[in-house]
Chain A
Amino acid sequence: MSFRSTLILVRFLLTFINRRVFGRGILRSKTAKTAAIAIALTAFVGYGLLTVVVVRQYFDAEIVEILLLSGGAATPFWVLIAYTIVRVLFLKADQLTQLTFMLPATNRERTLAFAIFEALMVVGASLITFGAFIIAAATISGFSIIWRAVAAIFFPTILCYLLFSIVYLGVERLVITIGAGRLRGLIIPFLFAAALVGMFTLANSQSQEMLQGYLSGQPYFIPQLGFLKIADSAGPALAVLVFLILLLALGTLVLVAAPKDYEPVKQHYRVLSGKLASSQLGLHLLALVRSFETLIVLLFATLATAGIAILKIEIPPYVLLFVTFQGVYAFANSEPIRRATPAVQGAVASYLNLVTAQAIVLLVVAVPAVAVSTWLGIGIQHSALAIGFSACNILLSTLVGILFPADNGNPFSVVVGVVLVFAIVAMVAMGLNIFSLPVAINVAVVVLLSVAVVAYSIVGINRIERIRRYEIVA
């Protein structure tokens, strides 16, 4: 195993990000890049200030301590959520992985190089999520809270991430051994989804045990809060030492668990009749439904609906949102359709096919989800609102996929696009909330913004297609 080869791969991926993520789509322009950085910074500053205001307004040192302990106890649960999302994104990046085959690197070196990027995403997300809270908490409880947050949240986060990586790679090895390696795109997310249910139950019981122990002064033991206990009783140096030893041990196990050979993931499954391919809409529907990531979210939505029905959880059918995020891949996935058709397809027709295919999938999932919600006593107006949100989300995620095309299924374009669009949507939503406009005007504004999203998507497709046909030069 050579770390030099890993570094070469990391440099290769950085070059890919620079050229294919920041050098294509809307981010090609310097003005757009500057605007994107400004939007991200503005949103983060706003989020940070709001967190500080809320924490200082409503919390005292004791509540901050309880929140810190609860956050630490729940670490495995939310790290597993983040890991599952990142894993599905990287499983989709099969073509990107295949680009590295010409480089002199083994599969373990490749695994390590990709793991570095995955870890950067998870650590970045943790810093953004908890950073503002920790800074706010420091203004109440003093700077010692920063160290306590590192021991209670960041150390367990990193170790949980490595632990899940070992489990993932172990399962990958197992499925490759039994000859089902190509199906791991479906098998592994399901195992993680099942693990999430167990982890949710565990996190709930651990949080209750911790709260009861904290309030009554009784001793309690939660492994993920072990570093905090060690730091409190024996000093931070020992906690850091234990963390480093575990980090080294788990890091080595990750490398040992990585399979020696790479096996591509099966990207499409034969679902629905091929006869649908006789029309453009049918082709787009097949491209959407047959891809493995759509099947994953469809099954997640079905399981969630079944879980809601069995446990009788009275919530509107927001599980529909699951199936609306596929829009980020819709444009890139339908690229072969546009290239294979001899006649030039107009941008409006292309766009309508993209969103109609997604709307059909949404409606099919909506029927049982709304039926379950109605059976549980949720008003039809709440279900209609959830469907409306989901429809808007289809338009937004399709726009993300056009402005930030996920070439070779790379996850970096998706993450950059989703973060930027989420920042804009969050600011607009908060602005509308502050303006406290009548409901009818709010609905009108949302409809107008959706029209703008559709218009920009069509203009984007038109421009990209004209560039591909050499009608204009980028």
Chain B
Amino acid sequence: MKLLRNIGIAITVGFIVTAATATLSMIFTMFAEGSELGRRLTFFDGLFFEVRDGANGAIQMGFGVHDFTPIVLFFVISSVSVFAFLVALNFLRGYRAKLIDERAS
């Protein structure tokens, strides 16, 4: 049950971290690159951000997925890291409780 809970937490947190990092990477690229025309890649080349000329001299912005591989890899690495953190935390908590018990007895 605990293993299942940890896997659930790891997948959820991994997804939120991936979505948040992708969003921040995209916003930061838009902020840093300004309004120069062209296509830029961000988030380990997984996402693209494009500025192009539109109608009536207006500038159009677009974004999307360039390559899913780095996004999926990031999600897997985030989830595994969170899972490893939770397992280590549980182990250390158990070890601490054991030490306290030993000292008490």
Residues of A within 8 Å of B12, CB to CB, are 449, 452, 456
Among residues of A, the one whose C-beta sits closest to the C-beta of B43 is A434
Residues of B within 8 Å of A455, CB to CB, are 8
Query: Which residue of B15, B23, B30 has the most chain A CB atoms within 10 A of its CB atom?
Result: B23
Q: Does A100 contact B (CB under 8 A)?
A: no
Instruction: Tell me which of B23, B35, B61 contacts A434 (CB under 8 A).
Output: B23
Among residues of A, the one whose C-beta sits closest to the C-beta of B21 is A431
In the complex the two chains form, is A427's CB within 8 Å of B19's CB? yes
Q: Does A116 contact B (CB under 8 A)?
A: no
Q: A323: shortest Cβ distance to chain B, in Å? A: 27
Interface of chain A residues 53 through 79 with chain B (CB within 8 A)? 53, 56-57
Q: Does B63 contact A (CB under 8 A)?
A: yes
Known A53-B30, A57-B59, A57-B61; contact A431-B18, beta-carbon cutoff 8 A: yes
B interface SS class: helix
C-alpha gap A52/B33 in the complex (Å): 13
In the complex the two chains form, is B15's CB within 8 Å of A45's CB? no
Q: A436: shortest Cβ distance to chain B, in Å? A: 5
Query: Which residue of B5, B26, B61, B63 has the most chain A CB atoms within 10 A of its CB atom?
Result: B26
Instruction: Tell me which of A50, A427, A435, A445 contacts B65 (CB under 8 A).
Output: A435
In the complex the two chains form, is B22's CB within 8 Å of A431's CB? yes
Residues of A within 8 Å of B59, CB to CB, are 57
In the complex the two chains form, is A459's CB within 8 Å of B5's CB? yes
Residues of B within 8 Å of A197, CB to CB, are none
Q: Does A180 contact B (CB under 8 A)?
A: no
Residues of B within 8 Å of A456, CB to CB, are 12
Known A428-B15, A434-B47; contact A42-B20, beta-carbon cutoff 8 A: yes
C-alpha gap A424/B64 in the complex (Å): 21
Residues of A within 8 Å of B35, CB to CB, are 56-57
User: How extensive is the interface on chain A, given as a class?
Assistant: 20 to 34
Among residues of A, the one whose C-beta sits closest to the C-beta of B28 is A49
Known A57-B59, A449-B12; contact A431-B27, beta-carbon cutoff 8 A: no
1/0 per residue, CB under 8 A from B, across A438-455: the answer is 000000010001001001
Among residues of B, the one whose C-beta sits closest to the C-beta of A437 is B65
Q: Does B16 contact A (CB under 8 A)?
A: yes
Among residues of B, the one whose C-beta sits closest to the C-beta of A429 is B19
C-alpha gap A427/B23 in the complex (Å): 7
Known A435-B65, A435-B71; contact A430-B23, beta-carbon cutoff 8 A: yes
Among residues of A, the one whose C-beta sits closest to the C-beta of B30 is A53
Q: B50: shortest Cβ distance to chain A, in Å? A: 13
C-alpha gap A459/B9 in the complex (Å): 12
Among residues of A, the one whose C-beta sits closest to the C-beta of B25 is A434
Among residues of A, the one whose C-beta sits closest to the C-beta of B5 is A459
In the complex the two chains form, is B5's CB within 8 Å of A431's CB? no
In the complex the two chains form, is A42's CB within 8 Å of B24's CB? yes
Q: B102: shortest Cβ distance to chain A, in Å? A: 19
C-alpha gap A436/B61 in the complex (Å): 15
Residues of B within 8 Å of A432, CB to CB, are 19
Known A436-B64, A436-B65, A449-B12; contact A427-B20, beta-carbon cutoff 8 A: yes
Instruction: Tell me which of A52, A424, A434, A452 contacts B26 (CB under 8 A).
Output: A434
Instruction: Tell me which of A49, A427, A449 contacts B31 (CB under 8 A).
Output: A49
Q: Does A46 contact B (CB under 8 A)?
A: yes
Q: B76: shortest Cβ distance to chain A, in Å? A: 16
C-alpha gap A455/B59 in the complex (Å): 45
Residues of B within 8 Å of A431, CB to CB, are 18-20, 22-23
In the complex the two chains form, is A428's CB within 8 Å of B31's CB? no
Residues of B within 8 Å of A53, CB to CB, are 27, 30-31
Residues of B within 8 Å of A427, CB to CB, are 16, 19-20, 23
Residues of A within 8 Å of B27, CB to CB, are 46, 49-50, 53
Among residues of A, the one whose C-beta sits closest to the C-beta of B29 is A53
Residues of A within 8 Å of B19, CB to CB, are 427-428, 430-432, 435
Residues of A within 8 Å of B15, CB to CB, are 428, 445, 449
C-alpha gap A424/B23 in the complex (Å): 12
C-alpha gap A57/B63 in the complex (Å): 15
1/0 per residue, CB under 8 A from B, across A170-197: the answer is 0000000000000000000000000000
Query: Which residue of A52, A434, A452, A455 has the most chain B CB atoms within 10 A of its CB atom?
Result: A434
C-alpha gap A459/B71 in the complex (Å): 30
The 10 closest A-B pairs by CB, nearest first: A431-B19, A427-B20, A430-B23, A53-B30, A428-B19, A436-B64, A49-B27, A452-B12, A49-B31, A431-B23
A-B contact pairs, 17 of them (CB 8 A): A42-B24, A45-B24, A46-B24, A49-B27, A57-B35, A424-B16, A427-B19, A427-B20, A427-B23, A431-B20, A434-B26, A435-B19, A435-B22, A436-B63, A436-B65, A452-B12, A459-B5
> Chain B residues in contact with chain A, CB under 8 A?
5, 8, 11-12, 15-16, 18-20, 22-24, 26-28, 30-31, 34-35, 47, 59, 61, 63-65, 71
Additional A-B contact list (14), CB under 8 Å, known A53-B31, A57-B35, A434-B64: A45-B24, A49-B24, A52-B31, A53-B27, A427-B20, A428-B15, A428-B16, A431-B23, A435-B22, A435-B65, A435-B71, A436-B64, A452-B11, A452-B12
